[in-house]
Amino acid sequence: MLARLLIIPSIVVFVLAAGYVVFTTGIHVRSYSMPAGSMAPALVPGEMIFASGGFYSNQVPVPGDIVLFNLPRDGELTTFIKRVIAGPGDRVKIEQGRLYLNGVLVERSPLPPDPAVDGLIYRETLPNGRSYEIAEVSDHEFQDEIPEIVIEPAHYFVLGDNRDRSNDSRFPEFGTVPLAAIVDKASIIWMSADWRRIGKRLQPDP
């Protein structure tokens, strides 16, 4: 009898959870796991996320988006997840660890420490108003000095949120990412060792 009574609440929870996933992600859902910490504090190793599959087949990335893309590495395609910082025609520079877009210093404000992340935590706000948290060991690490570059047509400059522990567009061998390689848009965390992070939406507002 108890088992029968639990069926209806279980169905309701499942339907609500499925509805939330579709609402935040869309119908074409893909799942990914995070093997490394380059996107901390947004994502930490071991977490699993849902993403909107094929989202960028008819959309262009907006600075601030967390995107998934495929690039050839060692003879095969490898999927990466990073945050889009700038697009075609934008000018990007990093000086003493600080990000400049089109000649303007990007706003950054300190936040309290995050026990899940080794480093200083900041809130970075792009010129379009979208903000997110980043982690920095310091402003004097490798790749904290990048001469200004202009993003070529149909390409995007991407960074990991864990700035001093990410292989991204700051490195010549990585480079900017072609639009054709960007496939999915990260949506929500659906599995984490920290249950409080389950259901966390990954894209910044608005």
Does any domain span residue 102? yes
Q: Over range 139-155, report the average pLDDT.
A: 96
Domain count for the chain: 1
* Per-residue model confidence (pLDDT) at position 162: 98
Contact yes or no for 102/91 (Cβ under 8 A):
yes
Six token digits for residue 157: 């400059």
Range(s) of the domain holding residue 74: 28-197
What's the maximum distance between 2 C-alpha atoms anywhere in the chain?
Answer: 70
Is 3 a residue whose pLDDT tops 80? no
* Per-residue model confidence (pLDDT) at position 113: 94
Contact yes or no for 164/119 (Cβ under 8 A):
yes
**Residue 105's CB: how many other CB atoms inside 10 A?**
11
Share of the chain above pLDDT 90, in %: 83
Band of the pLDDT at 75, cuts 50, 70, 90?
confident
Q: What radius of gyration, in Å, describes the C-alpha atoms of the chain? A: 18
Max avg pLDDT among 3-7, 14-18, 139-143, 181-185: 181-185
* Per-residue model confidence (pLDDT) at position 74: 85
pLDDT tens-digit series, residues 109-141: 999 999 889 899 999 999 999 999 999 999 999
CATH number of residue 124's parent domain? 2.10.109.10
pLDDT tens-digit series, residues 161-179: 999 999 999 999 999 999 9
Does any domain span residue 18? no
